[in-house]
């Protein structure tokens, strides 16, 4: 556009000196403009390169953020898995410990029951041995006549008559709640039902002497030869076994099976 204007001015008669100077100035401005344009293009390329770099860094940052979130999610899943496995293991160990405790308690009850059974068998053997002595087979040839006491409660120290065995005994203790009485006869100590004894007091009559020995036979056995304790709890075994052995001893059984 500038060259065409100068050509038109020259044709219209403008001084050649002015046209030449203008043409020189126009050439210098064009060079400056060219240099400016080149600089702008270079800056534009730099800006474009910088923009690409920023976009790349942004993309990498977004990818890193996604990777970090994914890793955090994996860590959280692993943490929950570890917590669950640890809790399950603790529950299993607690269950095993509870089972061991129950087994140990069961074994202790069994040992205690076996010990009581052995003690009861030993007591039964001693009682049977005592039953075969004269203390239980006959009353003394010289004895004080007795009569049944008037109605009243039996207390420790009273003399009682064992209805089934036919002998006298001394009361050691009474449990009215359970309906049991603990007595001592000869060298034997046993627990009986209250209704199986009678309270006796010495009468004021004369002393009988010279009489023959009076033997009273043991009652016929109404006790089974075998006691089944299966299915009973440890706290149920003792009173059942104790009553059974007392009944067996009173019936004169030499052997029983428990």
Query: What is the mean pLDDT of the segment spanning 4-29?
Result: 70
Asked whether residue 199 is domain-assigned, the answer is: yes
Place of tokens 């020189």: 24
197 and 154 Cβ atoms separated by less than 8 Å = yes
Asked whether residue 147 is domain-assigned, the answer is: yes
Question: Chain-centre distance of CA 176, in angstroms?
Answer: 39
Asked whether residue 171 is domain-assigned, the answer is: yes
Res 233 pLDDT > 80? no
Residue that wins the pLDDT comparison between 174 and 214: 174
Residue 183 is predicted with a pLDDT of: 87
**pLDDT over 90, % of the chain:** 13
Instruction: Provide the domain count of the chain.
Output: 1
Residue 47 is predicted with a pLDDT of: 92
Asked whether residue 33 is domain-assigned, the answer is: no
Q: Using 50, 70 and 90 to split pLDDT, how confident is the model at 38?
A: confident
Asked whether residue 180 is domain-assigned, the answer is: yes
HSE-CB for 222 with a 13 A CA cutoff: 3
Query: What is the mean pLDDT of the segment spanning 62-80?
Result: 91
The tokens of 188 are what?
């034997």
181 and 171 Cβ atoms separated by less than 8 Å = yes
214 and 160 Cβ atoms separated by less than 8 Å = no
pLDDT per position as a tens digit, 111-148: 777 777 777 777 767 766 666 654 555 444 334 444 44
Asked whether residue 42 is domain-assigned, the answer is: no
CA triple 20-22-24, angle to 5 deg: 70
Give the domain extent around 181.
139-214
Asked whether residue 200 is domain-assigned, the answer is: yes
23 and 6 Cβ atoms separated by less than 8 Å = yes
- Mean pLDDT score of the chain: 73
Res 211 pLDDT > 60? no
Residue 54 is predicted with a pLDDT of: 92
Asked whether residue 27 is domain-assigned, the answer is: no
Determine the angle formed by the axes of helices 234-250 and 16-131, rounding to 10 degrees.
10
**Window from 135-144, 166-175, 229-238 with minimum mean pLDDT:** 135-144
How far is the CA of 189 from the CAs of 16, 42, 58, 148, in angstroms?
161, 123, 100, 22
Res 212 pLDDT > 70? no
Sign of the CA dihedral with 143 first, then 148, 154, and 155 last: negative
181 and 201 Cβ atoms separated by less than 8 Å = no
């Amino acid at each position: 556009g500038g060259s065409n204007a100068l050509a038109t001015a020259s044709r219209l008669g403008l001084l050649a000196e002015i046209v030449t100077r203008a043409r020189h100035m126009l050439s210098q401005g064009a060079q400056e403009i060219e240099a400016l344009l080149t600089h702008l293009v270079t800056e534009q390329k730099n800006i474009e390169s910088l923009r690409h770099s920023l976009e790349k860094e942004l993309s990498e940052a977004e990818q890193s953020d996604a990777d970090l979130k994914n890793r955090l999610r994996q860590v959280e899943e692993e943490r929950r898995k570890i917590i669950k496995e640890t809790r399950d293991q603790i529950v299993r160990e607690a269950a095993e410990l509870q089972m061991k405790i129950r087994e140990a308690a069961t074994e202790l009850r069994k040992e205690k029951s076996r010990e009581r059974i052995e003690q009861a068998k030993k007591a039964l053997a001693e009682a049977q041995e005592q039953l075969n002595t004269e203390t239980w087979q006959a009353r003394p040839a010289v004895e004080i006549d007795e009569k049944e006491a008037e109605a009243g409660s039996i207390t420790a120290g009273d003399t009682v008559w064992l209805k089934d065995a036919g002998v006298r005994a001394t009361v050691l203790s009474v449990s009215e709640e359970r309906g049991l009485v603990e007595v001592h006869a000869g060298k034997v100590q046993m627990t009986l039902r209250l209704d199986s004894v009678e309270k006796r007091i010495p009468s004021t009559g004369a002393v009988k002497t010279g009489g023959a020995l009076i033997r009273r036979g043991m009652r016929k056995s109404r006790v089974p030869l075998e006691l089944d304790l299966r299915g009973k709890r440890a706290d149920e075994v003792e009173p059942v076994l104790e009553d059974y052995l007392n009944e067996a001893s009173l019936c004169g059984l030499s052997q029983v099976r428990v």
